[in-house]
């Protein structure tokens, strides 16, 4: 099969960092080519060069055999390359049709937009994707899955040949992910070439033809996915073997630390359970099952209509996150960038936010003591950073997550609430987060973790609680023995 695109010996450096070193990357016409690597491997940099966001330092880009210069996003778009970023670029106040044709309103006549034609053309593109949707729907009312489909429709409307999808399934439900797969297969059948970037290995095998692995800014391998097993792929990504280990269960008589009784509000109904000291308990269920809402209620972020909470045997009134923190809780939220961290502050400033009172004397902070504690956390959690003063936004997803965990360790939190702890994190960093969680439980910390990844439950949890429509419907005390049952009950209730 002929190559539609070739990137040859592409290099890119930023101050103090070689992001890409003589990388080769090619696309065959009509294929789904998966691009994978750990955070910081160079995937995004390579695709941003293709999108015209960055300019390469050296190398050559050939499109259909001809050398091309891509210096701006407009250059990329004119060459038929469309990029759908993880943070979608839709305007919430506009309709789906307006978003699809934003900046290209079908050659308005004398400045007047042909709204009827605009909606009809948008409807045709949705139909092409196998969707029956009203293009006049306001984008803010659309589900995350429909927004993702609108981004794909926008790419098709721009007459592209190549579509780059960066972590397209991150915020999608299971059904929406299946629909995404279906649409990708449909696009492939119509001759579109797709670059698919994801940390989730099962997704690559579900939709991909070939895969390219980058590591530390260098090309590692390109091959057909059918030729590479998951363990081999993991080894290419991380440079080391990572064995899948399920949680080893030890029967111990530990004291209860958290006891939730009859918790109810608009999203959760009469939920009761407990977590022992040193125990990791998983919350599992589909999107909308109430997992996140239960964590938020326990942490005081959402009010409860009825119910009681006991910590270490004492009844507590937790009406705000501040009270939860005061009683020894810490939350590692699902969206670390908007809820878990202040990206423009340094990693040290983020790590000490809940503990400033303990590390200050009147209005003066104890900088020497803080510096020593932060260095200890960097070493203990293997946070990869050049300095404690680096802005949080400069860290990879896995390292940002470790800084958020360090925040609660510094505060000496005794109960940690994790919501989708490894979302958007590469396989190597995932393994490190699991190790950290196990070590915390061995130190006597209690952990309550909400996740949509069944393998994550089996890797770290002592017990699993199944949520369905806001209710806790089943408990498994040795989850590794009941994988299929856990999945079936979560789906059917």
Mean per-residue pLDDT, 454-467: 89
| Three-state secondary structure call for residue 45 | helix
Global model pTM greater than 0.75: no
At 133, the pLDDT band (50, 70, 90 cuts) reads: confident
Cα(194)–Cα(201) distance, integer angstroms = 17
Q: Are 26 and 5 in contact (CB under 8 A)?
A: yes
- The DSSP secondary-structure symbol of 190 reads T
Per-residue pLDDT at 305: 94
Burial of 95 (0-12, 13-18, 19+ CB in 10 A): buried
Per-residue pLDDT at 194: 95
How many other C-beta atoms are found inside a 10 Å radius of the C-beta of residue 283?
26
Residue 481 scores a pLDDT above 90: no
Residue 250 scores a pLDDT above 70: no
Tokens representing residue 214 in the block: 């980058």
Cα(214)–Cα(212) distance, integer angstroms = 7
Per-residue pLDDT at 332: 92
Cα(417)–Cα(4) distance, integer angstroms = 47
CA-CA-CA-CA torsion for 225, 397, 463, 202, nearest 10 degrees?
A: -10
Per-residue pLDDT at 128: 85
Tokens representing residue 488 in the block: 């079936």
For the stretch 192-240, pLDDT in tens is 999 999 888 889 999 999 999 999 899 999 999 999 998 899 889 888 7
| Cross-strand bridge partners of residue 464 | 282, 476
Mean per-residue pLDDT, 51-59: 94
Tokens representing residue 189 in the block: 């059948």
CATH number of the structural domain 256-492 = 3.40.50.300
Residue 125 scores a pLDDT above 80: yes
Q: Where are the domains of the chain?
A: 3-238, 256-492
How many other C-beta atoms are found inside a 10 Å radius of the C-beta of residue 390?
16
Report CA torsion sign: 361, 366, 369, 372.
Answer: positive
According to the per-residue pLDDT averaged within each range, which of 161-170, 255-264, 363-372 is highest?
255-264
Per-residue pLDDT at 245: 60
Cα(129)–Cα(189) distance, integer angstroms = 11
Tokens representing residue 469 in the block: 């429509």
DSSP 78-105: HTTEEEE-SS----TTSBHHHHHTTT--
- The reply to whether domains 3-238 and 256-492 share a CATH topology is yes
Mean per-residue pLDDT, 140-148: 87
**Helix boundaries (H) for 11-63:** 43-51
Residue 248 scores a pLDDT above 60: no
Tokens representing residue 294 in the block: 């239960």
Per-residue pLDDT at 231: 87
Cα(423)–Cα(334) distance, integer angstroms = 7
What's the mean pLDDT when you consider all of the chain? 88
CA-CA-CA-CA torsion for 43, 45, 51, 57, nearest 10 degrees?
A: -130
For the stretch 371-390, pLDDT in tens is 999 999 998 888 888 888 88
Q: What percent of the chain has pLDDT over 90?
A: 51
Burial of 251 (0-12, 13-18, 19+ CB in 10 A): exposed
At 243, the pLDDT band (50, 70, 90 cuts) reads: low
**Residues in the chain, how many?**
493
**Residues 6 or more apart from 107 whose CB is under 8 A from it?**
none
DSSP 390-456: SBGGGS-HHHHHHHHHHHHHHTT-SEEEEESTTTT--HHHHHHHHHHHHHHHHTT-EEEEEES-HHH
Looking at domain 3-238, its CATH architecture is 3-Layer(aba) Sandwich (3.40)
Per-residue pLDDT at 193: 96
CA-to-CA separations, 54 to 14, 35, 44, 167, in angstroms, rounded: 11, 18, 10, 19
């Amino acid at each position: 099969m002929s190559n539609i695109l070739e990137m040859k010996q592409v290099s890119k450096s930023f101050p103090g960092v070689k992001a890409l070193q003589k990388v080769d990357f090619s696309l065959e016409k009509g294929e789904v080519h998966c691009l994978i690597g750990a955070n910081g491997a160079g995937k995004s940099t390579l695709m941003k060069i293709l999108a015209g966001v960055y300019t390469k330092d050296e190398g050559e880009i050939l499109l259909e055999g001809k050398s091309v210069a891509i210096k701006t996003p407009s250059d990329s778009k004119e060459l038929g390359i469309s990029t759908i970023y993880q943070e979608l670029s839709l305007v919430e106040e506009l309709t789906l049709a307006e978003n699809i044709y934003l900046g290209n309103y079908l050659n308005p006549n004398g400045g007047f937009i042909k709204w009827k034609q605009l909606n009809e053309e948008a409807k045709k593109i949705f139909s092409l994707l196998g969707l029956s949707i009203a293009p006049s729907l306001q984008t803010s009312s659309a589900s995350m899955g429909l927004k993702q489909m609108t981004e794909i429709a926008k790419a098709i409307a721009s007459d592209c040949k190549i579509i780059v999808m960066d972590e397209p399934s991150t915020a999608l439900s299971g059904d929406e992910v299946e629909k995404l797969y279906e649409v990708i297969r449909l696009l492939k059948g119509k001759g579109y070439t797709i670059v698919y970037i994801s940390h989730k290995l099962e997704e690559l095998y579900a939709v991909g033809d070939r895969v390219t692995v980058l590591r530390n800014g260098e090309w590692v391998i390109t091959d057909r996915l059918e030729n590479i097993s998951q363990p081999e792929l993991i080894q290419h990504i991380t440079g080391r073997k990572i064995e899948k280990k399920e949680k080893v269960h030890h029967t111990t008589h530990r004291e209860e630390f958290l006891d939730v009784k009859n918790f109810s509000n608009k999203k959760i109904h009469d939920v009761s359970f407990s977590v022992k000291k040193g125990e990791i308990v998983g919350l599992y269920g589909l999107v909308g099952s109430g997992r996140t809402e239960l964590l938020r209620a326990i942490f005081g972020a959402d009010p409860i209509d009825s119910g009681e909470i006991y910590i270490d045997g004492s009844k507590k009134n937790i009406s705000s996150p501040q009270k939860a923190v005061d009683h020894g809780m810490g939350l590692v939220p699902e969206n670390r960038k908007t809820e878990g961290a202040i990206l423009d502050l340094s990693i040290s400033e983020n790590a000490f936010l809940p503990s400033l009172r303990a590390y200050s004397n009147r209005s003066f902070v104890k900088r020497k003591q803080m510096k020593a504690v932060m260095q200890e956390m960097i070493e203990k959690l293997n946070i990869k950073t050049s300095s404690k003063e680096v802005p949080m936004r400069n860290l990879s997803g896995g390292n940002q997550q470790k800084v958020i965990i360090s925040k609660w360790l510094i505060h000496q939190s005794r109960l940690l609430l994790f919501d989708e702890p490894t979302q958007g994190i590469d396989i190597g960093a995932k393994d490190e987060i699991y190790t950290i969680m196990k070590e915390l439980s061995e130190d006597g910390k209690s952990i309550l973790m909400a996740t949509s990844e069944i393998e994550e439950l089996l890797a770290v949890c002592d017990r699993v609680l199944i949520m369905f429509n806001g209710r806790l419907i089943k408990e498994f005390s040795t989850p590794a023995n009941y994988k299929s049952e856990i999945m079936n009950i979560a789906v059917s209730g």
